[in-house]
Structures are given as structure tokens and as C-alpha cells.
Amino acid sequence: MFHFSSDYFLNLIFSIPGILIAICFHEAAHGYAAEAMGDDTPKLAGRLTLNPLRHIDPIGLLALVFVRFGWAKPVPVNPDNFKDRRKGMIAVALSGCLTNLLLGFIGMAAYDACLPLNNMILQLILQNIYLYNVMFGIFNLIPIPPLDGSQVLQEFLPYEAQRRYAAFSHYGYWVLLILMFTGVFGAVITPIVSGILNLYGAILNPVFSWILG
């Protein structure tokens, strides 16, 4: 059972910018990658935007709020329009996750740069921006539909395995919810996220130590 304290709701408020940035940039990156590979379907669907209303999946958003792992509404693409179908699908699938990881790095850099200001509200907002971006990027690499990792995996499977995998996609949401709310994802992903954040810190800390003297 979830316990909601005043601290929880306060942290939730400061998490909103991080959640929206992670979702909107992730999905917009999919759209722009698809367009770069020759498919204008995302543009026609109005997905080349940072408007959160275009990208939010209600269930995925709730999961992101409550357990910090979630997903957005998939960007529609037509693989037949890609110059190279396989490369196009892989590029589109990975573009969102790589964008999140880049934003996570930028967010941590901004957090470190703002530490001398001693502004706790700004620090909490920036902290959530880099945390949610790294978590969203890593989570979406998991090869379970509808996550991006499933699209990458599918491109490397033989035809018959692809067909069976596509049939499994109908149950993907339920599998995700079960694994999230039983804590399985948290146990697996948290160490990976921590490792990436430690790597970012190892890169940024010497830089800011030198800049700030």
C-alpha cells in the first residue's frame, strides 16, 4: 500500500518539470529521427512538438509518478518510408533513450553549476530533471513492448521469432505493470542508473572543482 506524506507531494511537485522534460524530449526525438530517416508520419501526426499533451500515456505517466519508471505514447512511424528499414527502426528506437541520457548529463551539469547559489528549490528541480531523464532513458531500453528496447530487439530476430514477439506485444503493458509494482524493475534498473550517475559525476566533479576553485 502506498503511503503519501506531505514530503511525497512536495517532491512530486518538484518532479513535474523533470517528468515532462523526459517524456517530451524523448518522444520528439523519435519523431525527428524518423523524419531524418525519410518518414514524415510523426510530422503528420503532430508529434514533432514538446507539447506534453501530444505525448503522455495516462498509464505510463501514473507509473512514472508512483514508481519512477514509465512510458509515453508511442510515436507512429511507417517503416516502409525509411531509406533503410532496419537502420531506420533502430535509429528511431534509440534516439529517445540517447536524448534522455544526454539531458541527464546536462541536468547534472546544471545542478552542479547552481550549487553555489544555495537555492534548494532550484536544486530539487534540477536533481529531478537529471534523475528522471536517466531513469526514463534506461527503462525504455528494456526489450518489453511497447518500450524502445523491444523495437531494437525485434530487428535482430528471424522472421518467425518476430511474428511471435509481435503477438506477445499485446500483453506487454501487463508484464510491465507487474514487474514494476513487484519491485523487480527497481532492483534491476536502480544499480544501472546509479552507475551512470556516478560516471556523470566522475566526469563533471573535476571540471566544476577546477572552475569553482
CA distances, 14 to each of 33, 122, 210 (Å): 30, 9, 30
User: Exactly one of 27, 35, 155, 160 is catalytic; which is it?
Assistant: 27
**Catalytic annotation on 27?**
yes
Residue 37 half-sphere exposure toward CB, CA atoms < 13 A: 25
Distance of alpha carbon 51 from alpha carbon 211, whole angstroms: 36
Q: pLDDT tens-digit profile of 160-204?
A: 888 888 888 888 888 988 888 888 888 999 999 999 999 999 999
Place of cell 531509406: 83
Tens-place pLDDT, residues 20-72: 999 999 999 999 999 999 999 999 999 999 999 899 888 878 877 777 767 78
pTM of the model: 0.90
